[in-house]
């Protein structure tokens, strides 16, 4: 299992060492990630909102795991700096002690009087071997012993520094492996979340499209008359039933009239002053000729003092005025001025003159 090792071949109880701690933590994180993914799958099947909350929770855990290698590396570096400080302090202290001992040994050489005293003490030391007078030699021996102790302490500090550096490298390696495993688990979890999110969205869109198709079928099958009749039946009251019937009749009449107007508008020409083949066909359906249109345009132009004739005269020959009564005589057998086509032609001619702001003639 991840994080566990077999007993070493050289003996020992095989207990977990300090280097195995990150692997055990990662193993616990992996087991936790498996449980969380199971719960996440259940939440995603039931609600999209629960899916979002769980994804945020997992991402926060992954962020915390990714921060642990940095903390381990920082702890190792602090330990290395502490050992370096201890090493420098030890080396500096012993160097000061050695310098002090050497200065004490060389002090008699700095003064002639002290040199004579030192020679006398040396002479007495040689000729009078008294243990009390052996202090310079004892000092030298003590200084040598201190120097050897300082060298040993220096070696111990150096070894401790090397051990701390090696331990730091091991910890960094273990933290890097743990961070890599945590990152792989985080990416796997995120991929699963996104994949299930896409599947949920696709299922929701498919259901929405099916509902819209059903709605389109219902809208397409609606009948206007049946809907009006059903509305009247649903809101029917015995004392105002006849009013509902009249209202439905008026609505139906207005609808038919609107449809007829739409069909007539489609067949009417766009411009009555500039006739085309389609416009002429529409006039012929109402027994109106092109000459009749010219008569009406000439009649409208005669009502103004200085009319604009750019679009009023369709041919160079002069239009006689004797035909005007056909369109203005209400006693004629066929009142042409009542036709919609005649009204449209006269209205178009008047609008054309109105655009130029010409002045009307005054009848005498």
**Average confidence (pLDDT) over 294-298:** 75
Model pLDDT, residue 41: 59
Model pLDDT, residue 1: 39
With H, G, I as helix, E, B as strand and everything else as coil, classify residue 307: coil
User: Rounded mean pLDDT of the chain?
Assistant: 70
For residue range 304-326, what is the model confidence (pLDDT) as tens digits?
767 777 666 655 556 666 556 66
Number of CB atoms found within 10 A of residue 30's CB: 15
Cβ-based neighbours of 19, under 8 Å, separated by 6 or more:
170, 171, 174
Label residues 78-110 b or e (16+ Cβ within 10 Å = b).
eeeeebeeebeebeeebeeeeeebeeeeeebee
Among 267, 269, 266, 265, which residue's Cα sits nearest to residue 348?
269
Question: Do 178 and 64 meet the contact criterion of CB atoms below 8 Å apart?
Answer: no
Model pLDDT, residue 182: 87
Among 166, 212, 123, which residue's Cα sits nearest to residue 19?
166
- Indicate the fold that domain 19-130+149-223 takes in CATH: Substrate Binding Domain Of Dnak; Chain:A; Domain 2 (1.20.1270)
Question: Which tokens sit at 94?
Answer: 């012993």
Quote the CA–CA distance of 144 and 130 in Å, as a whole number. Answer: 22
Nearest-Å Rg of the Cα atoms of the chain is: 57
Model pLDDT, residue 3: 44
Domain ranges of the chain: 19-130+149-223, 237-263+278-356
For the whole prediction, is pTM greater than 0.75?
no
Quote the CA–CA distance of 76 and 209 in Å, as a whole number. Answer: 59
For residue range 213-260, what is the model confidence (pLDDT) as tens digits?
888 887 777 777 777 777 766 666 656 566 667 777 788 888 888 888
**Among all chains, which residue has been given the structure tokens 């890097």?**
176
- Whether pLDDT at 211 is above 80: yes
């Amino acid at each position: 299992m991840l994080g566990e090792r077999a007993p070493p071949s050289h003996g020992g109880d095989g207990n977990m060492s300090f280097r195995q701690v990150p692997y055990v933590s990662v193993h616990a994180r992996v087991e936790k990630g498996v449980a969380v993914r199971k719960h996440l799958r259940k939440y995603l099947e039931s609600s999209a909102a629960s899916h979002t909350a769980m994804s945020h929770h997992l991402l926060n855990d992954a962020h915390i795991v990714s921060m642990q290698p940095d903390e381990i590396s920082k702890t190792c570096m602090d330990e290395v700096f502490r050992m370096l400080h201890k090493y420098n302090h030890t080396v500096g202290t012993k160097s000061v002690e050695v310098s002090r001992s050497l200065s004490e040994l060389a002090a008699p050489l700095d003064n002639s009087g002290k040199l004579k005293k030192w020679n006398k003490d040396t002479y007495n030391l040689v000729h009078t071997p008294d243990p009390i007078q052996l202090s310079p030699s004892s000092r030298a021996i003590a200084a040598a012993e201190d120097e050897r102790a300082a060298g040993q302490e220096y070696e111990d500090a150096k070894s401790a520094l090397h051990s701390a550096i090696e331990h730091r490298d091991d910890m960094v390696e273990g933290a890097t492996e743990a961070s890599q495993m945590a990152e792989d688990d985080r990416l796997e979890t995120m991929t699963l979340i996104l994949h299930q999110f896409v599947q949920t969205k696709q299922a929701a869109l498919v259901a929405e499209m099916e509902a819209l198709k059903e709605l389109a079928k219902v809208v397409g099958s609606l009948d206007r008359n049946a809907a009006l009749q059903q509305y009247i039946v649903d809101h029917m009251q015995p004392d105002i039933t006849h009013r509902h019937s009249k209202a439905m009749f008026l609505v139906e009449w207005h609808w038919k009239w609107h449809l007829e107007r739409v069909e007539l508008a489609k067949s009417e020409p766009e411009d009555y002053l500039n006739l085309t083949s389609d416009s002429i066909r529409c006039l012929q359906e109402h027994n109106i000729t092109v000459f009749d249109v010219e008569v009406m345009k000439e009649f409208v132009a005669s009502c103004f003092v200085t009319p604009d004739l750019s679009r009023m005269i369709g041919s160079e020959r002069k239009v006689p005025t004797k035909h005007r009564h056909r369109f203005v005589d209400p006693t004629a057998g066929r009142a042409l001025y009542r036709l919609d086509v005649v009204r449209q032609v006269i209205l178009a001619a008047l609008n054309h003159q109105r655009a130029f702001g010409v002045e009307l003639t005054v009848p005498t």
